[in-house]
Structure formats: structure tokens, C-alpha cells
């Protein structure tokens, strides 16, 4: 496996960073997870734009320009002979002395690697997954702005551990006011009376790019979308539910805790959105032929 580290491609066993890197010491850094279909990286420009927005919000200046990062992402797929894959691009504050001050040398650490898609059973998309509401709450936006896709993931990790202990696919996190926020690595949607609902950014969610695409596709299909504040009880009484992220695309949800959601999973609107997403990917791949 080849990894890009700072200014060169190295084998994974040689991809070593300093123990004084502030990404390791304090979680000072940002990242993006991207997906390749047929060696074509989906929503590449939007991912890089969000990465740079995250960098700006923490005062981190990338050492590699955006157009070069795009080229490196393509090269990492080529070197690892990957066609369909997940890619991870990380930029940390870099090595420095201990303490919360930023390293004085101003040299961020950049890491890029790619791996095959996770081997989830296909039945998950055909029958849906189970979620549970977890006790761990999302961080207050005033404490850590959710639009920063940072390396500080302990909040999400604790929520995932709680969900795993409950034998659920993932944990649904609430914000400090008890409203729905998001799952540990995905955004959530639910459907009631043929209207699509999803928590607003003000609820403390990461602005997911697949979420953004789903809202776009819903509009193209003539579906109404409402972003707002919702309680778990509203989701539990929904006709349909699904979660979205780069790796899962659109994953139907069949249960919340011990409550079944709707008469079937995926429901008809979820299926229409899944089909629209699939068509979009097929059109993307057709451009390569």
C-alpha cells in the first residue's frame, strides 16, 4: 500500500509522523473522506472546498495547493491499483513543542491514503439498518463549530461505542436541546406524508456533501424538503428514514431502538432517491467511456 506523506509517496510501513505532531497530541487538524467510482473521485471540488474551509476556520494554511491535492488523490488511486475506493486526506498542524500554541515552523503534515470500499453486506441497502438514540450529545456549535471536519472525533467515537454495545448499526446523536442532530459519521433524513425532513445546520451537524446532493435530487424529483428542529419521537413515527455519507451513499433505516419505522425498508421515496443516486453515478462513469 502506497501512502502520500508531506512531499513523497512511501510504503505504508514508512509513513511515519513525529510523536510531537499536534494532530496526534491535540487533534489539531482537519480531514476529508472521498469516494472514487471507476477511478473518478465523486464531488472532488466540493470536498476540497470544504477541506480548505475547515483549514481557514482553525487558522491552518495548507502547504500543498488545491490543484496539486487533486492530482495527488488521483495518483494514490493509480499507485494502489484501486478503481472503487475510499480516500482519506488529512492535514494536521504539524510537529512542534508541547503546549497548545501552534508550531512555530508552520509546516503542516499532509497524509493521503486510499483503501478498498468496506465490505458491508448488500442486504443492508435492501432491508435497512437499526439505529439507537445514544446518550452522548453533539458538541455545542459555540464550543466547536460543526462545519469544521476536524480530527477531534472522541465525541463521535464514544457515541459509536454506545451504539455498538446496543448492537445497533449506528448511534443517533441529539444536540444539547434534545433535538435530532446526526449519526456518528452520517446525516439523517426522515419522511412523513411524502415530505422529507432533516436536521438544520443550527442543530450542530456537519454539512455533509451527500446530504447536499440528496436535497438537490429530492428537488429534482419534486419532493419538498424541510430543514429544522425535530425530536426523536418524530423520527420514530416517520414513514421512512435513511442516513447518508460518502461511503454509505443512501442507507435505509428500518428501526429506531425497538420501534419499526414505516411498513417497509427501503420505503418508496428512499428507493426513488437511491435510484436517482445510482443513475447519477452511472452518468458519471459514462463520461469516462
Map out the domains of the chain as residue ranges. Answer: 2-116, 123-285
pTM score of the predicted model: 0.94
Question: pLDDT tens digits, residue range 234-289?
Answer: 999 999 999 999 999 999 999 999 999 998 889 999 999 999 999 988 887 776 55
Q: How far is CA 180 from CA 19, 87, 112, 283, in A?
A: 37, 29, 33, 34
Residues lower than pLDDT 50 in the chain? none
How far does CA 111 lie from the centroid of its chain?
A: 18
pLDDT of residue 287: 65
In sequence order, the β-bridge partners of residue 173 are 182
Contacts of 272 (CB under 8 A, 6+ apart): 221
DSSP symbol at 137: P
Confidence (pLDDT) at 190: 98
The pLDDT score that the predictor gives to residue 286 is: 72
Beta strands in the chain (DSSP E): 2-5, 8-11, 29-37, 40-41, 85-92, 109-116, 129-133, 170-174, 180-183, 187-192, 195-199, 224-228, 240-245, 249-256, 259-260
Measure the CA dihedral 211/214/219/223, to 10°: -100
Q: What is the pLDDT of residue 23?
A: 95
pLDDT at 288: 56
d(CA 30, CA 93): 9
Three-state SS for 91?
Answer: strand
Give me the pLDDT at residue 104, please: 65
CATH 3.20.10.10 describes domain 123-285:
yes
Given 3.40.50.2000, 3.30.470.10, 3.10.20.310, 1.25.10.10, which CATH number is that of 2-116? Answer: 3.30.470.10
Amino acid at each position: 500500500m502506497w501512502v502520500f506523506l508531506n512531499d513523497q509517496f512511501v510504503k505504508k510501513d514508512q509513513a511515519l509522523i513525529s510523536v510531537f505532531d499536534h494532530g496526534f497530541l491535540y487533534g489539531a487538524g482537519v480531514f476529508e473522506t472521498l469516494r472514487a467510482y471507476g477511478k473518478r473521485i465523486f464531488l472532488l471540488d466540493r470536498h476540497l472546498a470544504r477541506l480548505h474551509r475547515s483549514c481557514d476556520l482553525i487558522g491552518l494554511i495548507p502547504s500543498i495547493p488545491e490543484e496539486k491535492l487533486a492530482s495527488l488523490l488521483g495518483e494514490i488511486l493509480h499507485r494502489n491499483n484501486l478503481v472503487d475506493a475510499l480516500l482519506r486526506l488529512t492535514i494536521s498542524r504539524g510537529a512542534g513543542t508541547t503546549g497548545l500554541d501552534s508550531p512555530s515552523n508552520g509546516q503542516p503534515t499532509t497524509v493521503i491514503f486510499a483503501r478498498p470500499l468496506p465490505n458491508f453486506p448488500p442486504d443492508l441497502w435492501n432491508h435497512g439498518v437499526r439505529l439507537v438514540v445514544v446518550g452522548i450529545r453533539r458538541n455545542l456549535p459555540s464550543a466547536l463549530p460543526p462545519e469544521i471536519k476536524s480530527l477531534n472525533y472522541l465525541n463521535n467515537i464514544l457515541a459509536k461505542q454506545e451504539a455498538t454495545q446496543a448492537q445497533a448499526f449506528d448511534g443517533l446523536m441529539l444536540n444539547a436541546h434534545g433535538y435530532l442532530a446526526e449519526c456518528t459519521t452520517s446525516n439523517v433524513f426522515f419522511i412523513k406524508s411524502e415530505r422529507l425532513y432533516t436536521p438544520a445546520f443550527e442543530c450542530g451537524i456537519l454539512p455533509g456533501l451527500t446530504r447536499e446532493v440528496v436535497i438537490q435530487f429530492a428537488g429534482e424529483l419534486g419532493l419538498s424538503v424541510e430543514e429544522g428542529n425535530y425530536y426523536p419521537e418524530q423520527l420514530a413515527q416517520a414513514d421512512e428514514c435513511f442516513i447518508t455519507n460518502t461511503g454509505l451513499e443512501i442507507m435505509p433505516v428500518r428501526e429506531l431502538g425497538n420501534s419499526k419505522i414505516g411498513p417497509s425498508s427501503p420505503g418508496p421515496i428512499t428507493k426513488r432517491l437511491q435510484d436517482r443516486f445510482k443513475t447519477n453515478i452511472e452518468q458519471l462513469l459514462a463520461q469516462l467511456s
